[in-house]
Structures are given as structure tokens and as C-alpha cells.
Amino acid sequence: MRVLSGIQPSGILHIGNYFGAIKQMVKYQESEELFAFIANYHALTSLKDAKALKENTLQTAITYLSMGIDPDKSIFWVQSDVKEVLELYWILSSYTPMGLLERAHSYKDKVAKGIHPYHGLFSYPVLMAADILLYDTDIVPVGKDQIQHVEMTRDIAIKFNNDHGEIFKLPKFQVDDSVAVVPGIDGAKMSKSYGNTIEIFLDEKALTKRVKKIVTDSTPLEEPKDYEKCNVFALAKLFLDKEGVEELKERYKKGGEGYGHFKMYLRDIMKEYFAPYREKREYYLNHIKEVEEILNEGAKKAKKVASKKMETVREAVGIYSSDKGYKNA
């Protein structure tokens, strides 16, 4: 079973990226054929700083490797190193109805939050479809907000297949309901685009400052608190086992502690949880050449699959190749 997942290097990776994607990817590589890529073309929809994008791409790779992505167990590369994805993006654009894109919830939500409505943002689902279909993907792990994009990928693939035969495999989405949406400090989905994130490798001072900004209600210290509506609890439970979650619930129901106490508790369990990954991160920060070699080898493996698929697609739609001539015309 081939699983594909990508993440944008549009900013420093945060705990939403970890629980929403990286943790699942590390699990998948143990039992499935994992294709994992850094989606730097997608990042252009929100990041226009060239220096920042390059640096974020490298830092994203380092974080992935630090958190457990193993290049011996998966294919790990940078999206832009396999140019076939852009060719397929254009071809699929010719099979994508405008109405399909106009119904995209993600586009509407981002524009409503002030993100400029560039064409790249509007056609984002087509590039995502190219990412998925290029590698004959079976499963795409997503958050609930991305389900529609996978469904759109299927719609595009079906339309193409209806015209040219069964060329594209129809992927299925997979959602881990326990972490489908990781809340940000404002209670909305944690996203770099919304500026409500908590980064994975913040130092203690920065982490404390960020955690203190989590939005809570005004329940007095001595009164019981509703953990079901608390952003701090929603984040803390991600780091706890079942017993730990139940103990935290009891603290909320008992009263006598303010939200400040729970915020510092969240800070402490985050520090402890990510501590084992910090040493590995330091290693890669001091061995950048090794990171670049890993990405280069991953791109070669991904390109081998992509090139073969594109030969089939070009033949189906009639794209001329000088090395083949018109012999099949």
C-alpha cells in the first residue's frame, strides 16, 4: 500500500504539523510504502520571501529527519526536485472544471482570513492532485479540512480516466480522528497562515511566552473548569496517555487551579515529550551535507516513478516527445 504525504515549508514546523502529519508518517513507514515530500511549490501561495523559503525547506527536512523519518524506509524528497509534477499539474488543469475549484472550502476560508486570492491559491487542489496521482498513491493521510481536496483529486482523475482509460489510480483519504484538527492558541486550527502556532523546538523562554498566549475563558481560579471547551486541555491531551488525560480532567473538575497553572503544565509536558528529538536535530544541524544527500537520493527515487507515469500520461493526451517522434501517431 503506497501512502503519500507532504508538508509545506512556509514557516517553522509546529505541533499541529507533528500530530497532524509527521507522527503518522513515521508510523506508516514501518508498515507501508511511504512517499513523503516537502511541498515547497505549495508554500509559494503564502510565502514570497525567497531566502525564508530556502531556509524553511532545509529546516523542514531537518525536523522530519529528527522526528523519525527514515530515508531507508521511505522515499523523502523536495517537491521541486521532481519537475514532472508541474507538467502533470498543467495537464490536469485542462481536465478540471472551474466549478469544482470554486467549491473549495479551503480557498474560501483562507481568502476570508485575508490571504490574497492569487491563482496559485485557487488552483492549489490541482497541484495537490498532481502530487497524488503522479505516484499512483493509494492512501493520503489528511486532516478533516483536507478531505475535500482528496475528493477533488478523485474527481479530476475520474474525468481524465473517462477520456483516456484507467491511467490514474483513485486515492482514498485517511483521517486520524484523534488528531484530525490540532487547535492553535486561538482555538482555530493551528496553521502558519493564521499565526496561531506553537513551534516544536522553541527554547524554554519562547515556549513559555507562546503558551501563555493560549486563549481561555474568565473562570475564577477556585471554580471547576470545563475541560471540553478549553484550548489548553485540547493541546495537553495530545501529549498524554489515557491515564494522564483522566488525571488532568480531574484537576479541571476539582477547581483550585487557574488556567496559568494548566498552561505551565502544558509547557512542561511539551518539553519532556520533544526532548529526545532535540539531540538528533543538533546532529543534522551540524551535518547539512548529509541532509542534502538524503534529499537528493530521495528525489532520484521519486523521479524514477514520476518519469514512468508521465510517459503514459503524455502518450494518452498526445504530447510530442522528440526522442519518440511521431511513430505512434
> Distance (Å, rounded) from C-alpha 50 to C-alpha 52?
5
* CB under 8 A, 24+ apart: contacts of 226-229: 226/252, 227/252, 227/253
> Distance (Å, rounded) from C-alpha 251 to C-alpha 77?
44
Give the DSSP H/E element, type plus range, for residue 5.
Answer: strand 2-7
- pLDDT for 179: 64
Per-residue model confidence as pLDDT tens for the chain (329 residues): 999 999 899 888 899 889 888 998 999 999 999 999 999 999 998 888 999 999 999 999 999 999 999 999 999 999 999 999 999 999 999 999 988 888 878 777 777 777 777 887 889 999 999 999 999 999 999 877 788 899 999 999 999 999 999 999 999 999 877 665 789 999 998 988 788 999 999 999 999 999 999 999 999 999 999 999 999 999 999 999 999 999 999 999 999 999 999 999 999 999 999 999 998 999 999 999 999 999 999 999 999 999 999 999 999 999 987 777 665 54
Strand ranges inside 165-226, DSSP E? 172-174
- pLDDT for 290: 97
Q: What residues does 76 pair with on adjacent strands? A: 36
**6 is written with which cell numbers?**
507532504
- pLDDT for 329: 47
Backbone angles phi, psi at 227, to 5 degrees: -65, -25
**269 is written with which cell numbers?**
509536558
- pLDDT for 328: 52
- pLDDT for 312: 97
Quote the pTM value: 0.85
> Distance (Å, rounded) from C-alpha 144 to C-alpha 154?
16
**Residue tagged 507515469 (cell numbers):** 309
Which letter, b or e, does each residue of 67-97 get, where b requires 16 or more Cβ atoms within 10 Å of its Cβ?
bbbebebbbbbbbbbbebbebbbebbeebbe
User: What's the count of helices (H) and strands (E) in the chain, helices before strands?
Assistant: 15, 5
> Distance (Å, rounded) from C-alpha 289 to C-alpha 170?
37
Q: Which domains does the chain have, with CATH numbers?
A: 2-181+287-317 (3.40.50.620), 201-283 (1.10.240.10)
Hey, which residues are catalytic here?
110, 189, 192
> Distance (Å, rounded) from C-alpha 281 to C-alpha 70?
14
Strand ranges inside 134-287, DSSP E? 139-141, 172-174
> Distance (Å, rounded) from C-alpha 288 to C-alpha 294?
10
> Distance (Å, rounded) from C-alpha 66 to C-alpha 61?
8
**Residue tagged 484538527 (cell numbers):** 181
**Residue tagged 487547535 (cell numbers):** 183
* Nearest residue to 42 (alpha-carbon basis) of 9, 83, 4, 64: 9
Alpha-helical runs (H) found in the chain: 15-17, 23-28, 40-43, 50-66, 84-93, 98-102, 105-112, 119-122, 124-133, 147-164, 204-212, 231-236, 242-254, 259-285, 288-317
Exposure on the CB side of residue 177, measured as CA atoms within 13 A: 0
Residues 6+ apart with CB under 8 A from 215: 185, 186, 187, 231
Q: How many CB atoms lie within 10 A of CB 139?
A: 20
